[in-house]
Structure 1
């Protein structure tokens, strides 16, 4: 069965470089379509994914009929999505497939003129309605319109860590969600179905704007502001960034402590002083900072630390919490989520069982 709707268009910088080509399927995801700018080997691998070989896996994705939100103009924030019904933590906001994917290596493998020409061709080959979704997005950096929209709105994903298949993907719907350093929603990407899932991280009330974080929310305020200004051109006005200076200083102190404790808990050498109490402090600090997604890591560390001293019941409690938050923050295929399922099922046969206690025993 033919996967691609057009004959691939290919370019390379010189004889010493690989070819990079445009692969387009206008039939993908029930006619939404997709263009992929990548090398032929990666395209072949993508064409073998369930997203292509079993269309049923994406048959009901991209459906926004009866959506529980609406697009509204928001003072000082442009447009955003506002909830029209309550969301509970874990509820799905929506799921979408990318309309465009570009291999990160193209930036080095092609000169700028050729790369921009290829990107324009990739968008031209999309179905008209899907192409319009791309072109309706806003850019920030200026220059080539297609490239500007990509640089402003794309999400970075890894298709296969073993093959170093890193791509930027375009999801016009997710790009409508504004930033907040303490967001109420988060996303993760399933590389098998090429589906980007957005879920509520906490309860959301009617009339509340949906938000995601464009950056690492554990950064201190000044760093967050600098990254957002440089990358998206705006000064963040979220509650975490606009509180009084005395509260900002306290928040930054907690964030510095979170960074220190995380590194200590990740250190499993003889020199580490980490303990269950260290993990409990990390959990508490994440709660105080309203880090509703990254707290999954704190729960994971707590499960490991308690298992490391032989307290399997408390380890299982934190493993279950890590799974519940991890499924929202990283997805079901995340290595920590899988590890926590294993610990919860059989703590005494998990690698962490008694590892802290036995390390110090004579």
Structure 2
């Protein structure tokens, strides 16, 4: 299982665990330690992950940070943990106070749901007040997984991360700013865009008139971009289905044996998937359609509601699920029993399909 799969699997477990996590220690054990393990570190080896790391401040001795990820005997990442219901505030955290007393280059503040990575971009050896990288584990995006992978033990390089931290920080801050402006355009924002299309004097009345127009223009632009992506994904799927149908029709016209033959192995795979999902959705809604090159398992017998595709030919075998952008995620399997390893991914697909329906 690759890094992306491990993160998504952890994310799928988080919400199920929350009701049982009554203390900060429970949050650390159930959410944060598994996260550190996914990053490739041995949480039971103090040479890699040092718990209750001592970071003395002046005359205050014995002050501790929850974890320090070590590199060559020195702390590289300081981690402070909170209970999952607690808000994260770096100004009130030990992490903010201890950062400059160690050789650590990065600080991580987390409650097991939100992860905030800090460094010292603004003033050397003083942790920035805003993170350069932040994500929510239950809503993690593909681009965020790519950034997080840089902190994996196998890829961790302080200079490489530091070089991209500044760009990442300002990119995230700009996204936050633009999102705020798109929801509630400020006076300077309205003035700037009005100047681009209006040649007269920009009075208060003109700005009042253009404010809603500018807001609606951005919403339409975003909506059009989303629709184009969806349209492109649907067209690709239709083209694939049309190709398969054409091959079948061509074989029939030539009097050949049908190219599509549903095998016992494919049916067994279907029943395994159906069994895994039946406790979460009515089993009658789970159907299949066979194609020449793959075996599709669908929701509501709808080609646009693909749960997964099975490739069970004579060569390498795969299960494929489609992400929110209809992009294929392919996982190799050596036997049908391996399908049970992908139950969480299938539940995520069902969740997206049902959410879209709602």
TM-score (norm 2): 0.29
TM-score, scaled relative to structure 1: 0.29
Query: Comparing both structures, which one devotes a greater share of its residues to helix?
Result: 2
